[in-house]
Amino acid sequence: MTALLVAPPAIRRRGSRRVVAVLVGVAILMALTVLSVLVGSRPIEPSVVWAAITRPDVTDDAHLVVTELRMPRTALAIVVGAALGVAGAIMQALTRNPLAEPGILGVNAGAAAAVATGIAVTGGAFGTLGLFGFSFAGAAVAALAVAALGGIFRRGADPVRLTLAGVAFAVTLGAYTQTLLINFPSVFDTFRHWAVGSVQGRGGELVLPAVAIIVPAIALASLLGRSLNAVAMGQDVARSVGADPRGVLGAGALLVVLLAGAATAVAGPIGFVGLTAPLAVRLLVGPDYRWIVPLSALFAAVLVLGADILGRVLLPPAELETSIVTAIIGAPVFIALARRRRLMRL
Amino acid sequence: MTAGTVRVWRSRDERIALRWHRRPAMAAATLLLLLIPLGVVALLTGSFDIGPAELWATLTGQGEPTVARVLGTIRVPRLVGGIVVGAALGVSGAVFQTISRNPLGSPDIIGFVTGAATGAVVAILVFEAPPGIVSLAAVCSGMLTAVLVGALSLRGGTAGGYRLVLVGIGVGALLGAVNDLLLTRSQRDDAIAAQIWLVGTLNGRGWAEVLPTVIAVAILIPALLLMRRGLAALELGDGMARQVGAPVTIVRLGTIAIAVGLAAFATATAGPIAFVALAAPQLVARVGRSSSVPLVGSAAMGAVLLVGADLLSQHLPLSLSAPVGLVTGVLGGVYLLWLLSRGR
């Protein structure tokens, strides 16, 4: 028995890789956070930035740029990225489909369509609570519809069919959202960047509600790691190791709706983050969802914050929407995955 | 393979013989007839209405000069644009769905239309090129996209049906991001206009934009009709096609090149219009109950769909306005979901 308690070398190596992955991820995120506050279309001296953080002066324009624009924007990029990464990881486990993520499966598009409808109907006067409400409702409806059409509730679900149903939904709802935007010029001006997917110009008042929803949801998702491990092996295996597949599906779907809905309410539909981050994490630390879920949050935050900074510095003085940068990074990953012979297997 | 009655017409010396299946031919003829009332309505209505009598007078050369100018420079090119763009997309979709043997393997799903749009956007925004050069750029980048998607989805010598679709969707997403990037970076202030171009519209298309596609359709669709027997053989699979004596590689490359060209010219004229290429061949196959490649029917159906959607986009309720690409996007997306819900 004692021999079994000593982990074989491969597992020990994996353990040290996990530690390295966490440390490297945290280090990059901290470096990007500093960079994100320092860099922008308007050059501000690091000493001034430091002063703005330690001794904010509301009469100083530069201080206001740092405290009112760059700091909320940085915080939003981090939570939005983390939410999308975890949502993608959960969806990949539940659907056993490596192409599953809230952008490709139409959940973000559903949330965006619902928010755009809300703006068009009410003229946009529904406050932060209404914004999140519309977003959650849209995400939930889209997730349910795509799951039903994609055959999640049937045995032997086909990952290709699910992916196609998601893409069809995303395209249709995207066209619908565009129609609304074109018809309401004031909405277009306010939400032009949002509809494309960007953390630029989003108000600081969104930071608190976003954090209040996303952080607990990520914590719950991390606790779900063991159950996700079981479900990712298939329903029969899951049942035989004592997991409740339907319960996990329900809880996971609820978390996906909360995470993707909150992220979309804040930043608009951003795709490919939930695809790329969990995939990279899986390559680093192996198929254990107890590690994939929290590390996906970390690396997706790195990805979105990095994409946001890149979008700011690539073509100054103009800014590039975050979603464009994430699509340019993420689409090649999607293509590489789709090329694999056995799409089914995670 | 045959559906319904086969009719044959022979010239007296039997030099020329035309074979056609009755039901698909009827369907195509009905669709072409349907274009007449649609076209008349499209010519009569708009920012100001023209009476039927006035239209007739103008067509016979006795109308008022203002009405003649509106018809000649705005409405007729728009109608002709709708017909040729729709026909080109429908035929292109029919060819690709036949070759990939998959209803989702149509050029708007697998990124060719987006790729053609990338070339057109670069030509318009970066080089400020005239319409003829824009068409050329769209065709070149559409071909490049086709080569790229084909090469990426090849694996072990074959491009599996769904791998092609998924790789195409990925390439399309990437190029879509590039298009967004180019448009949002352009110095043009009218971002809404740029946005509208990217979803596809027939608004404000004059003869300069429409004429290249008219010429392309007039040359490429007859060329394709000459190759239709080989194309039908491809539908049986490569091995069987060789058995019946079809030059598989030549037919495949030739028809793909023509179909990409058609989709690219259509995109240069109207922007990336969604789902017409997907839906037209599928609808025709259901209406005509034909099991062979419905080229003429797809052309007619594509034209009817696009002219109809364009009319709808001009007369939406609640005084909403939507470019035709969004109308086809919503309608076609719903249709695609229905296709999926019926399952395979």
What is the separation of C-alpha B185 from the centre of its chain, rounded to a whole number of angstroms? Answer: 29
pLDDT band at residue A217 under the 50/70/90 scheme: very high
The answer to whether the Cβ–Cβ distance between A176 and B330 falls below 8 Å is yes
Terminal CA-to-CA distance of chain B, rounded, Å?
Answer: 21
pLDDT band at residue A117 under the 50/70/90 scheme: confident
B295 vs B180: CA distance, rounded Å: 33
Least confident window among A209-213, B76-80, B229-233? B229-233
pLDDT band at residue B18 under the 50/70/90 scheme: low
Q: Are B267 and B138 in contact (CB under 8 A)?
A: yes
Q: How many CA atoms lie within 13 A of B123 on its CB side?
A: 23
- Cα B331-B332-B338 angle, rounded to 5 deg: 95
A89-112 average pLDDT score:
86
Task: Compute the nearest-CA separation of A190 from chain B (Å).
Answer: 13
Quickly list DSSP for B17-64.
EEEEEHHHHHHHHHHHHHHHHHHHHHHH-SSS---HHHHHHHHTT-S-
Q: Does the pLDDT at position A297 exceed 90?
A: yes
Q: What is the pLDDT of residue A344?
A: 43
Question: For residue A54, what are the CA distances in angstroms to A47, A51, A68, B259?
Answer: 10, 5, 14, 63
A204-211 average pLDDT score:
82
Terminal CA-to-CA distance of chain A, rounded, Å?
Answer: 32
Q: Which two three-digit tokens encode residue B10?
A: 């022979």
Bridge partners of residue B10, in order along the sequence: B17
Least confident window among A89-93, A298-302, B214-218, B247-251? B247-251
User: Is pTM, for the whole model, over 0.80?
Assistant: no
Q: How do the domains of chain A map onto residue ranges?
A: 21-71, 81-338
The set of residues, in sequence order, having a beta carbon less than 8 Å from that of B108 and lying 6+ positions away, is B89, B93, B263, B272, B273, B274, B275, B276, B277, B278
Q: What is the pLDDT of residue A164?
A: 76
Q: How, if at all, do strands B6-10 and B17-21 pair?
A: antiparallel
What proportion of chain B, given as a percentage, has pLDDT over 70?
A: 85
Question: For residue A107, what are the CA distances in angstroms to A49, A256, B333?
Answer: 38, 9, 15
Most confident of A147-151, A189-193, A326-330: A326-330
Mean pLDDT taken over chain A: 81
Q: Does domain A81-338 have CATH number 1.10.3470.10?
A: yes
A264-277 average pLDDT score:
85
pLDDT one-digit tens code per residue, A2-46:
444 555 555 556 677 888 888 998 999 999 998 888 887 777 788
A250-258 average pLDDT score:
89
Residue of higher predicted confidence among B310 and A56: B310
Cβ-nearest to B155 among A150, A334, A339: A339
Q: Does the pLDDT at position B265 exceed 70?
A: yes
- Cα B268-B274-B277 angle, rounded to 5 deg: 85
Place of tokens 């791998």: B163
Cβ-nearest to A172 among B153, B322, B329: B329
ipTM over 0.85: no
A190 vs A203: CA distance, rounded Å: 12
Place of tokens 């000649």: B72
Question: For residue B206, what are the CA distances in angstroms to A232, B65, B203, B216?
Answer: 56, 18, 9, 16
Nearest CA in chain B to A330: B174
Best of A335, A341, A342 to substitute, by most chain B Cβ atoms within 10 angstroms, is A335
pLDDT band at residue A177 under the 50/70/90 scheme: confident
Domains of chain B: 22-342 (1.10.3470.10)
Q: Which two three-digit tokens encode residue B63?
A: 């109308």
Q: Which two three-digit tokens encode residue A3?
A: 């021999």
The answer to whether the Cβ–Cβ distance between B166 and A169 falls below 8 Å is no
Residue B101, phi then psi, degrees to nearest 5: 50, 45
Task: Compute the nearest-CA separation of A66 from chain B (Å).
Answer: 25
The answer to whether the Cβ–Cβ distance between A272 and B176 falls below 8 Å is no
B275-296 average pLDDT score:
77
A103 vs A38: CA distance, rounded Å: 30
Q: What is the pLDDT of residue A156?
A: 57
pLDDT one-digit tens code per residue, A69-86:
888 889 989 999 999 999
Residue of higher predicted confidence among B112 and B14: B112
Task: Compute the nearest-CA separation of B187 from chain A (Å).
Answer: 10
Least confident window among A274-288, B110-124, B176-190? B176-190
Task: Compute the nearest-CA separation of A219 from chain B (Å).
Answer: 32
pLDDT one-digit tens code per residue, B70-94:
788 888 888 999 999 999 999 999 9
